[in-house]
Copies of this chain bind each other. A is one copy, B any other.
Amino acid sequence: MANSIYRASILQSYSQLLFQPCLSNKHCVPKKTNLLCFASSQLNPARSEVSFCIGTHLIPHPNKVERGGEDAFFVSNFKGGVIAVADGVSGWAEQNVDPSLFSKELMANASSLVGNLEVNYDPQILIRKAHAATCSKGSATAIVAMLERNGTMKVASVGDCGLRVIRKGQIIFSTTPQEHYFDCPYQLSSELVGQTYLDAVVSSVELVEGDTIVMGSDGLFDNVFDGEIVSTLAAHSDVVEAGIG
């Protein structure tokens, strides 16, 4: 239900099919896969509730283009909308394990579980059930954001994927990465030594009309400063242009 504060929110993003690579990025040379979702809120004219309008953009690391990178994501229009990103941990390649398999299966499982009654539209529980259902060998960082119709966006994150909310040209909400030490993030794993949903940072933020959300793997946030994200958005009236530019 909308009120004077939370009139509506619609997420918009770049239309790039799941796992489809795109190498165009004039702002930086990605050190690894850059995955990002852009979201801009607007009033849903049909009813005074909020929802995401979702699109995505995927830029694999140049060395990982052939298999589409190691990131994965899914989007959903269930309830207010769901966006999620997982980043396969590269180190598995040294053990002849494709690092993308775990992240892709994790996101596929999460996508199929979004409406599950036991998940109860809780991003932390979604991570728990998706992780439990994933059989591939490997590990991944993951972030899930779920928008309630009243404007509350709930976020659960394990590791160094991230999310920014931009309002009136400035970042007003950021997630913070978790890592054991440099370049070793918290991660959901096929092995017992990894982290679980219990290690997720769970937060939420109240969205308002006009907000833009940017979600991505560390490949985005390690290569593009927050100020560059904001200025890129400001320089484009259309978020699709902003993502490709």
**A170 vs B204: C-alpha distance in the bound complex, in angstroms?**
19
**A224 vs B195: C-alpha distance in the bound complex, in angstroms?**
31
Q: Is A205 an interface residue (CB 8 A)?
A: yes
Q: Is A202 an interface residue (CB 8 A)?
A: yes
The answer to whether A170 touches B174, judged by C-beta atoms less than 8 angstroms apart, is no
Which chain A residues (173-201) contact chain B, with CB distance < 8 Å? 173-174, 176, 178-179, 198, 201
Set B170, B201, B203: member contacting A203, Cβ < 8 A: B203
The answer to whether A173 touches B203, judged by C-beta atoms less than 8 angstroms apart, is yes
Q: Quickly give the copy total for this chain.
A: 2
Interface size for A (C-beta < 8 A) is 19
Give 26 pairs: A residue, B residue, CB < 8 Å, sorted on A.
A4-B198, A5-B124, A5-B198, A167-B201, A170-B176, A170-B178, A170-B179, A171-B176, A172-B176, A172-B178, A172-B201, A173-B176, A173-B201, A173-B203, A174-B174, A174-B176, A201-B205, A201-B206, A202-B205, A202-B206, A203-B203, A203-B204, A203-B205, A203-B206, A204-B204, A204-B205
